[in-house]
Structure 1
Amino acid sequence: MKRLLLLFFLIICLNSCDKDDVQKTPIERLPPLTSLGANTAGCLVNGEAFLPKGNLPATLFCQYIDQKHFSIAINEKINNKIRTVNVASLNETLELNKIYQLKEYGENSKFAEFVIFNENFDDIQYQTNSVIKGELKITNHNYAKAIISGTFWFDAVNDKGEKVEIREGRFDMEY
């Protein structure tokens, strides 16, 4: 009887697994490209799906202050490690379907970064710069409903010259 119950329990557990998610490619795990204010975002980090995850105050954050200062942050916390993808545009009103170059951080710049925060405060920061770049494109902006959607990609380097590749970035956010 114990074996029968164990077999029954295993069958239920296996059937409750999301088989579709296991079979999905990394890009298929990303949220769809939408423009509804779905409050979704994701990208590929070195070919692996990167999505908001974990016990954090904000796993996903978007702001567009005074229609001039835009930023989107996707945060993932696994165990005691937090990884963050951040894309920002400072001091410029973003236009629809215009491609903006992500370069170095500055007062009137567009830039991106990937940061790994470790529990021992040995953080690793990868940033775009004048040579290692990326792109940001706003595909939808509904001012009345405060919804902004778009795509991004970038390469970034740390102070040791190691590079990280962020691809297929997408967001559909209320701000």
Structure 2
Amino acid sequence: MKRIRYIAIYGVLIIGLMGCKKEVANPDSSNLNVLPPLTHEGKNTFGCLVNGEVWVAYAPFTVGGTIALEGSYHSDIGYLHLRGNRKNNDLNHNESINLRIENLFSSGTFTFYTNHHVSRGLVDYSDNFNCSNYYLDTNLIRESTITYFSLQKRIVSGTFEMDLVNPSCPGDTIKIREGRFDWCY
């Protein structure tokens, strides 16, 4: 009985690993000041400039812990939710940037989905910014250009930019520029 259980476990692991070739988007800590290159290979990279400073998705490996890049794509309705996480306890970073796109069935330019003007674009769990939650505003920049999209290879890549606000912090706008991602789902 134990042998059957081990065979079943190894079978599930092998099938899971045969899916998409994933590379972990965990650059070494000496390279966190460089944006990832614009690629279309499903390298699981995510980075941007936040108010002019380089922000790269990074999370040290821990079992059950934060993952540098996570998300979901629902092919039946074309809904993409992608979240880049940056966690580094030594640097007091624990933040995430969220992208949500509707009607994504091919490459093109898309306006981010705002969910009745309350979609969080940046969440700061470590209080490095003036406020902890910044939201997409329908009157400000909030778009992504999908440069590569393949249902067969399960890869979506693109660029993005957005301005984020927090109604509790008037006049405090976060400007995200030169964003790029390359994700294998």
TM-score by length of 2: 0.68
Gaps of 5+ in 1: 1-17
Instruction: List aligned pairs for 1:31-46, cutoff 5 A.
Output: 31-46=36-51
The sequence identity of aligned pairs, in percent, is 31
- Letter of the aligned partner of 1:51 in structure 2? V
Aligned with 1:57: secondary structure? coil
Q: Does 1:116 align with 2:127?
A: no
Instruction: List aligned pairs for 1:98-113, cutoff 5 A.
Output: 98-102=108-112, 104-106=114-116, 113=121
Higher CA-based Rg: 1
1:54, 1:140 → 2: CA distance? 25
Asked if the contact 1:70–1:88 (Cα under 8 Å) also holds between the matched residues in 2, the reply is: yes
For residues 102-145 of structure 1, give each alpha carbon's deviation from its aligned partner in whole angstroms, at most 9, with x where no partner exists: 36324xx9x660110138xx971111112123211111011111
Aligned to 2:181: 171
Instruction: List aligned pairs for 1:7-156, cutoff 5 A.
Output: 29-55=34-60, 56-67=65-76, 68-79=78-89, 81-90=93-102, 92-96=103-107, 98-102=108-112, 104-106=114-116, 113-118=121-126, 124-156=132-164
Query: By how many angstroms is 1:149 displaced?
Result: 0.5
Query: By how many angstroms is 1:63 displaced?
Result: 1.9
- Letter of the aligned partner of 1:43 in structure 2? C
1:32, 1:61 → 2: CA distance? 18
Query: By how many angstroms is 1:75 displaced?
Result: 0.6
Query: By how many angstroms is 1:81 displaced?
Result: 4.5
Asked if the contact 1:36–1:147 (Cα under 8 Å) also holds between the matched residues in 2, the reply is: yes
Gaps of 5+ in 2: 1-29
2:46, 2:155 → 1: CA distance? 13
For residues 36-69 of structure 1, give each alpha carbon's deviation from its aligned partner in whole angstroms, at most 9, with x where no partner exists: 1111111111111111223443111132122511
TM-score by length of 1: 0.72
Asked if the contact 1:103–1:130 (Cα under 8 Å) also holds between the matched residues in 2, the reply is: no
- Letter of the aligned partner of 2:55 in structure 1? F
- Letter of the aligned partner of 1:35 in structure 2? H
Query: By how many angstroms is 1:93 displaced?
Result: 2.8
- How many residue pairs align between the two structures? 144
- Letter of the aligned partner of 2:104 in structure 1? T
Aligned with 1:43: secondary structure? strand
Give the direction of change, closer, same or farther, for the CA distance of 1:112–1:151 in structure 2 (3 Å limit): farther
Query: By how many angstroms is 1:166 displaced?
Result: 0.5
Query: By how many angstroms is 1:77 displaced?
Result: 1.4
